[in-house]
Amino acid sequence: MTEPLAGTMPNLNTKLECTKNKKHYGLFDFIKGFWQLPLAKNSQEILSYETDEGAFTPTRVPQGSCDAAIHFQATMEKCFHDMLYESRLIWIDVLLVFAESIDEYLRALEKLFATMNIYGLKFSAMKTQLYRQTITWCGRVISADGISHDPKRIDALTNMPAPSSAAELQQFICASNWMRDSLVDYARTIQPLQQRLDTALSGNRKTKRVAAGILLTLDSKEIESFNKVKALLKNSAQLTHPKDEATLCLFVMHNGWAAIVTQVVEWQQDKTITKQNHELLICKGGTFSGAQCNWSITEKEAFPIVSACDNLNYMLLRPGGFRIYCDHRNLIYLFAPKQELKKHVKGKLLRWSLKLSEYRYTIAHIDGQHNLWADLISRWGGATHTTILRFKRITRMQSRVSKQPLIRPLDKDAFVWPTLNEIAATQKAHVNSMPRSCSLDVSGIYRCNGKVWIPGAAKQLVQRLFVISHCGQQGHRGEAVMMNHLKRIFFLDDITQRARRFLRRESVGTSKYLLIIKDNFSHFTELIPCDAPVTAVAAEAMLWWHSRYGVPETWISDNATHFKSEVLALLSKMMKAKQEFVVAYSPWLNGSVERVNRDVLQVLRVMILDYGIASNDWVYLIPLVQANINHSP
């Protein structure tokens, strides 16, 4: 029986990067694609239908059934998995073949036809384009120069009259939304039309059939928005492929937040940002709604940066880093908020700043944000007159505290990445200990069974390889994952025992315990990391609590020795406080603090997974956890 599938369609923005520097294309459309997939027998009866001529039971996947598109996409990706994203892209029943040279393209076609023969798939001869240097696929015109939208679609939308029904307005919004990645400030421009559509379809059902029966007339503000969107479509820019050597620029604004990413292939130091030769990569945007409308200006200015880094990490996470340009000068101090900020605002900014900790960036301020955006739009739209503005650049250098270990140790300046030349030189220095099974390849590297041989005596090289395989964007990897990475590329004698010794020597910090103090009246909580559960820690924590909030009348704890010691008893007597102890293994007797224990563990696990740091670095998350507990309603 057909059931909902847990899956999503591919992200075209990321997958189209595979067509970078590709000059030869082919397009293949499946003939009645869904009917080429057999339907499971236990689903055939359930999908039967009855007409005036009788009952019919399908034996093929009906188009439009529950998750049929996702099922078809997943099946085609399995069939063509060998060259997927290398020379093929699939979007449901349309397949794109591409290659950098004509010889590679012919080999890709040969593999394509061989796969079709194996699975018995068929393409439509009428819709197939066997060879093109510029191809139209999924409404996008793809070439070696970049990606743009189909001019026929743009002409159809720009010639469309003002909508007279909710269905026509819905069609216009959905069609233009498909092209929003190349439309600057699209979300704010189309917001009046989106609000009108939401009002018209305020009921539970928002189907096209329901929308067709709802008549509407646009007011002057909505007509203006409609014309502006069509103007954006006319001036839609070509999206270029990201280049590794180019300088990436991220421009943000908070008026209905928007972010655009450009690249400058040849950065000229003597020219301002507005005079650089920009190439558009992508546009992102949205509108603030609900509780977001009550955010402060600082939060609204920071949100586009954080959102762009979340959604565009495949583009912004690069060794050379990127530049951020904004018109809010105080945003420079986003990652070091001052005391005058409200506590809940400061906590949010700190959480956002942690998301950006894995990126390399430079923040600069630009005066006259509106004119700058108009200047950039006019450049992409082909206008001849531009407005050049001066800008002031303020760069904040970030330094790490020496006591805090690096979350990304591979970014340390003292760390030297091993090269093939260094490995070859190390092999020659220890050639006497080389196994007999090793052979010299054309690049001058000794390999054993196809893997690079690493001499066991080269301890520094082995140490660096262990660091690289153990540390990365995923944080600290476990032993099994680390070993898989090493054994896949390198051959090293006794590699398993060496890796285990390396992991045992890894620094895990000294703090292993967490003391939790909670006030039952205000529910205010303090978290104190410590090396061991001893009386000195408990006494010092109570003294600090006394210095900040005064002495509580009653201290409730379990029967642990560090709470029942003579020192703590004498301290409570001097402070005129009463100690009460609950029975061991009876958490309900002190449920208030036991609930905090559970919340702390839950929040710590989520934050460690979210930020991708090692579990040994939990101490640095304690201030955020304490702020989260104390400021939650």
Q: CA dist 130 to 36, 73, 96, 124, Å?
A: 21, 22, 10, 11
pLDDT at position 391: 44
Q: Note whether 160 and 153 are within 8 A (CB).
A: no
- In the chain, the N- to C-terminal Cα span, in Å, equals 45
Comparing CA positions, the residue from 134, 122, 46, 43 lying closest to residue 79 is 122
pLDDT digits (tens, 9 = 90+) for 76-114: 888 888 888 888 999 888 999 999 999 999 999 999 999
What average pLDDT is seen over the chain?
78
Asked if pLDDT for residue 352 goes beyond 80, the answer is no
List the CATH code of the domain at 409-505.
Answer: 1.10.340
pLDDT at position 266: 87
Task: Extract the tokens encoding 150.
Answer: 């189909």
pLDDT digits (tens, 9 = 90+) for 130-146: 999 998 888 888 888 88
pLDDT digits (tens, 9 = 90+) for 52-84: 888 889 898 888 887 888 888 888 888 888 888
pLDDT at position 8: 76
User: Dihedral angle at the C-alpha atoms of 553, 558, 561, 565, nearest 10 degrees?
Assistant: 10
Tell me which H or E stretch contains 55.
strand 54-56
Task: Report angle CA 128, 132, 138 to the nearest 5 degrees.
Answer: 60
Tell me which of 25-39, 322-336, 383-397 is least confident: 383-397
Distance, in Å, from the CA atom of 88 to the CA atom of 349, rounded to the nearest integer, reads 42
Distance, in Å, from the CA atom of 33 to the CA atom of 257, rounded to the nearest integer, reads 40
Confirm whether 12-137 and 149-234 share one CATH topology.
yes
Q: Going by CATH, does the domain composed of 513-631 fall within 3.30.420.10?
A: yes
Higher pLDDT, 205 or 356: 356
pLDDT at position 382: 35
Tell me which of 171-180, 358-367, 432-441, 578-587 is least confident: 578-587
Asked if pLDDT for residue 340 goes beyond 70, the answer is no
| Residue 28 confidence class, pLDDT cut points 50, 70, 90 | very high
Share of the chain above pLDDT 90, in %: 6
List the CATH code of the domain at 12-137.
Answer: 3.30.70.270
Q: pTM of whole model > 0.75?
A: no
Asked if pLDDT for residue 386 goes beyond 80, the answer is no
| Residue 377 confidence class, pLDDT cut points 50, 70, 90 | very low
Asked if pLDDT for residue 24 goes beyond 90, the answer is yes
pLDDT digits (tens, 9 = 90+) for 516-536: 888 887 888 889 888 888 888
The pair phi, psi for residue 184, each rounded to 5°, is: -75, 130
Q: Note whether 192 and 256 are within 8 A (CB).
A: no
Place of tokens 């600082």: 298
Mean pLDDT across 380-402: 43
pLDDT digits (tens, 9 = 90+) for 563-595: 777 767 777 877 778 877 776 656 665 677 788
**Which range has highest mean pLDDT (124-133, 472-481, 583-592)?**
124-133
Share of the chain above pLDDT 70, in %: 82
Distance, in Å, from the CA atom of 154 to the CA atom of 295, rounded to the nearest integer, reads 36
Count of CB atoms situated within 10 Å of the CB of 548: 9
pLDDT at position 29: 92
Mean pLDDT across 288-305: 78
Tell me which of 97-101, 110-114, 213-217, 501-505 is least confident: 501-505
Tell me which of 184-188, 225-229, 380-384, 506-510 is least confident: 380-384
Amino acid (1-letter code) at residue 365: H
pLDDT at position 26: 93
Amino acid (1-letter code) at residue 231: A
Q: Note whether 516 and 527 are within 8 A (CB).
A: yes
**What kind of fold does domain 149-234 have according to CATH?**
Alpha-Beta Plaits (3.30.70)
Query: 247-381 is classed in which CATH architecture?
Result: 2-Layer Sandwich (3.30)
Distance, in Å, from the CA atom of 571 to the CA atom of 627, rounded to the nearest integer, reads 28
Q: CA dist 218 to 229, 311, 434, Å?
A: 14, 34, 80
Task: Extract the tokens encoding 508.
Answer: 């895990």
* 8-state DSSP, 363: E
Order of all β-strands in the sheet with 24-29: 88-91, 94-99, 24-29, 129-132
| Residue 389 confidence class, pLDDT cut points 50, 70, 90 | very low
SS3 375: helix
Domain extents in the chain: 12-137, 149-234, 247-381, 409-505, 513-631
CA 525 to chain centre: 33
DSSP letters of 544-611?
A: HHHHHH---SEEEE-S-TTTSSHHHHHHHHHTT-EEEEPPTT-GGGGHHHHHHHHHHHHHHHHHHHHH
pLDDT at position 259: 83
pLDDT digits (tens, 9 = 90+) for 231-246: 888 877 778 888 888 8
Tell me which H or E stretch contains 111.
helix 102-119
pLDDT at position 96: 92
CA 215 to chain centre: 41
Tell me which of 28-32, 363-367, 370-374, 530-534 is least confident: 370-374
